[in-house]
Amino acid sequence: MAARKNTIRLSEEWRERIRTAGILERLEKAAMGEVDVTQTQLKAAEIVLRKTLPDLARTEVTGKDGAEQTMTLRWGKPID
């Protein structure tokens, strides 16, 4: 059979996303008790995820023009 003329080449960004997704799936299975992971594997996963996923702990949400953001439930009561 002849080789493909139009081969699909993934960019490095997509390859990194696929690797990150695999790590997250493995951690999810570990959390659900489906697989066992060692402390070394957990630390390695933490290091890789810190480099590939944004840290949302420092994200600030503000309203229009930097004003305080108010969230309201469907029935109109503000959330404290």
pLDDT tens string 40-57 = 999 999 988 888 877 766
Question: What pLDDT is recorded for position 51?
Answer: 84
- Model confidence over 2-28: pLDDT tens digits? 666 666 777 887 778 888 899 999 999
Q: Tell me how far CA of residue 40 lies from CA of 19, 30, 49, in angstroms.
A: 18, 14, 14
Q: Where are the domains of the chain?
A: 12-54
Task: Give the residues across from 72 on adjacent strands.
Answer: 78
